[in-house]
Structure 1
Amino acid sequence: MTSAAASAEKKKKKKKKKKKKKKKKKKKKKKKKKKKKKKKKKKKKKKKKKKKKKKKKKKKKKKKKKKKKKKKKKKRRRRKKKEEPNSPAGRGEPAVVGRKRQRR
């Protein structure tokens, strides 16, 4: 009976050792989960495509600046009208008056 009891205890010890080996395998599975996190970094590359759409909006702003330049030209025309009526430039005549006297 003693030899049978001793052999039963040895079998129990072997089972415990096998269970410990299984726990080590679970730790290796956790390392595989870290590789899945690298796949998430590839999703960030899709955000770069959205930046190209923003460049199209900047082109629309350049067209608005051209309209502002046309308004400045109108202000220059108004300043010419405010000049004295006796001056030849205000009547739409050339500024050089001396040549006209020679023609007369």
Structure 2
Amino acid sequence: MQIAKVRGTVVSTQKDPSLRGVKLLLLQMVDEEGHVLPEYEVAADTVGAGVDEWVLISRNGAARQVLGNEQRPLDAAVVAIIDTIYVEDRLIYSKKEQYR
């Protein structure tokens, strides 16, 4: 799993039929210090995440372990919206502090 920040949505009118109704998000990866990286990925949203939220993503086969995704051609799925991240007793991210 990896931490990412939601940067936007991806809309596609033509897609594999198994992806109909699946919300796709554009994510920017985040490192262990909370810095955004110059890496982006598109992931299926299974939890209702929004722009600027920090999320946890599963990749590859783990992305297809999410209920309902077993037969979808997915490489990544958002599986959680992050509330806080602590590293060695330091607060790296707080959703509460972000929206103050």
Structure 1 or 2, whichever has the larger Rg, is 1
Bigger share in strand: 2
Classify the TM-score, shorter chain. under 0.3
Bigger share in helix: 1
TM-score, with structure 2 as normaliser: 0.15
TM-score, with structure 1 as normaliser: 0.15
